[in-house]
Structure 1
Amino acid sequence: MSHDSILTVSKSTIQMGGYNDRIYLMSLAAEDGPEIVDELINMAVAEDLSKIFAKVPASKSLPFLSSGFEKEAVVPDMFDGEDGLFLSFYRYLWRKEQSDRAGLDHVLSVAESKKGKGNVSTLPSSLRMRRLMPEDAHSLAHLYGRTFQTYPFPITNPEFLCQEMEAGVRFMGVYEDARLVGAASAEISSDGYSAEMTDFAVDPGCRKMGIAGALLRALEKDCSESGIKCLFTIARACSYGINSLFSKGDYEFSGRLRNNTNISGKLESMNVWHKFVEV
């Protein structure tokens, strides 16, 4: 199945399709009014998609909430002077139900027990880190292909990765000689106020070397130097490693997005974590 399409509705940006079986309102344009809510619901009905997922400023949330959207996560100060809300609309009960809730709660409690303990940020001398450029896209796509069976965006496509870099997404990579063994990215919001820390991948043969922690620290420093204050991530709720990484890094748990994302072969719930950095 091909990946979902990035589209413009009114002036806002959405991702839509059967791959994630959802509509994701990625960026709500300031000039778009409450009628966009009905537009999205009508599109979901027309395409028979089971979920609508929206990231919106708190001041724009009322039309969504009054139309049946539920608040699943809150990121304080995501937008300049106001919180960001992650809202979900479920067209079918099965999409909302969580059979694995107890297991996901355990992952979260383990992660939260490590709160603020810090991540190793120095790499072994055999490894080196640098910003990734378009000429690294093939190596990066190959790493992602080895790491994820499926992913919500086409990150195994070098052309897509080049487009992301050209659009301002910052990728960091860790090399062992000429081989890329770890990568992550910071996706900067259009208003320049927040960044999503995402696309973490470490070669299975290079785990336990502090690579993810070093990547996170490097991206945080890069964002902070650019004046970006709000950092957040949407992490696989089933992963002890990625949730512990952010908890150790002093991120706060913001909420869980149920059955949200097609990753590693099936729809998975995702945890949102955030940190506010005084620049």
Structure 2
Amino acid sequence: MREVNVMKEDRVVSSNDYTMDVSLDFFNERLKVEDYRGNVASIHKQVMRLLDEHPFTKVIVKSRQEDWKTFLELGYQFEALYTGYYNGSDAYSMALFSENSRRTSDYWIFEDETLQQVKEIKCTLDVPSASGYTIRKAEEKDAKELSNLYQAVFEIYPTPMNDPDYIAKLMKHDSIFYVAEYEGKIVSAASADINRKYHNAELTDCATLPEHRKNGLMKILIAKLENELKEQKIFCSYSIARALSFGMNAVFHQRKYAYKGRFTKNCNIFNKLEDMNLWVCDLSRR
């Protein structure tokens, strides 16, 4: 899920032998190193200084392929692999925990069982018909109605999607939204958050009102977003789905995304810190 939040601060931290883009994510109680160059040991020392200053219980680093073993030696653990993230090169998601309670998952075995059930489903790129629904690209004027949808579906969400101004701001930058309407009302939505620097996109903000689920709407919206990404020559598409959710994991498995790992207690969603599964697809192979 997109990591922009009213309870979040982005910084560029530099010294004579490194620079890094860090996100102080207070809402999700974590520190994220989104990008970096330079001396990994010096980066780690700065991370530890930031942990001394702030009450974060998890650190997440998107490591280059050549550095993940160094992060491992510094005490980080490998969680998931973003294949093709850096303009075709892989990003290794490395995690460091400061509390046992954050490191320990309460539902890991159940989530493994759910994942196995998901993988038994047949993969298909066929898109169901949208009989009775209108599928379209969202516009800024839809921001208020979209915020109502997210507020209705999620009691707690890692980003302020209940704020129409925030949604409108996303649309002005590099986020594409598609929606499904029923009788003139938006009942389902999803977005693609595009990273222009590294030519990848996260499929996120997936929400459908309960009474409209099981109609295949999310598969339709995801397919529309994928077509938009391919037109823009964005081929690395990924999504982070709640590990407890059979439905969303099934959508990405059926769309031929590959499971690439699980983030332990990654973010606050619904009513707790939840584990999240990473799904990645190379759209150029479609």
Q: Using the TM superposition, name which of 199-208 and 126-135 deviates more.
A: 126-135
Name the CA distance, whole Å, in 1 between partners of 2:88 and 2:135. 34
Residue 64 of structure 1: how far off its partner (Å): 2.9
1:242-253 equivalent positions in 2, closer than 5 A: 242-253=248-259
Secondary structure (helix, strand or coil) at the match of 1:59 reads: coil
Residue 220 of structure 1: how far off its partner (Å): 0.7
1:144-173 CA-partner distances (Å, limit 9, x unpaired): 001111111111111111221122111111
Could you tell me which residue of structure 2 aligns to residue 70 of structure 1? 77
Read off the aligned partner of 1:8 and give its amino acid letter.
R
1:19-51 CA-partner distances (Å, limit 9, x unpaired): 2111123x304x454333322222122112100
Could you tell me which residue of structure 1 aligns to residue 16 of structure 2? none
TM-score, L = length of structure 2 = 0.90
Could you tell me which residue of structure 1 aligns to residue 196 of structure 2? 190
Secondary structure (helix, strand or coil) at the match of 1:99 reads: coil
Could you tell me which residue of structure 1 aligns to residue 222 of structure 2? 216
Corresponding residue to 1:148 among 154, 159, 169: 154
The 1:250–1:92 alpha-carbon spacing in structure 2 relative to 1, beyond 3 Å, is same
The 1:220–1:121 alpha-carbon spacing in structure 2 relative to 1, beyond 3 Å, is farther
The 1:80–1:18 alpha-carbon spacing in structure 2 relative to 1, beyond 3 Å, is closer
Unaligned 5+ segments in structure 2 are 14-18
Secondary structure (helix, strand or coil) at the match of 1:116 reads: coil
Corresponding residue to 1:202 among 194, 203, 208: 208
Matched, 1:15 2:15: no
Name the CA distance, whole Å, in 1 between partners of 2:124 and 2:167. 33
Read off the aligned partner of 1:103 and give its amino acid letter.
F
Name the CA distance, whole Å, in 1 between partners of 2:94 and 2:124. 31
Unaligned 5+ segments in structure 1 are none
Q: Is the 8 A contact 2:266 2:273 kept in 1?
A: yes
Q: Is the 8 A contact 2:86 2:198 kept in 1?
A: no
Name the CA distance, whole Å, in 2 between partners of 1:265 and 1:83. 32
1:186-211 CA-partner distances (Å, limit 9, x unpaired): 11113252111111000111111111
Q: Using the TM superposition, name which of 173-182 and 113-122 deviates more.
A: 113-122
TM-score, L = length of structure 1 = 0.92
Corresponding residue to 1:136 among 122, 139, 142: 142
Could you tell me which residue of structure 2 aligns to residue 87 of structure 1? 94
Read off the aligned partner of 2:9 and give its amino acid letter.
I
Secondary structure (helix, strand or coil) at the match of 1:28 reads: strand
Secondary structure (helix, strand or coil) at the match of 1:98 reads: coil
Could you tell me which residue of structure 2 aligns to residue 46 of structure 1? 53
Q: Is the 8 A contact 1:234 1:270 kept in 2?
A: yes
Residue 176 of structure 1: how far off its partner (Å): 1.4
Read off the aligned partner of 1:186 and give its amino acid letter.
A
Could you tell me which residue of structure 2 aligns to residue 107 of structure 1? 114
Name the CA distance, whole Å, in 2 between partners of 1:129 and 1:56. 38
Q: Using the TM superposition, name which of 86-95 and 75-84 deviates more.
A: 75-84
Read off the aligned partner of 1:67 and give its amino acid letter.
L
Matched, 1:56 2:63: yes
Cα RMSD for the two superposed structures = 1.9
Name the CA distance, whole Å, in 1 between partners of 2:7 and 2:192. 21
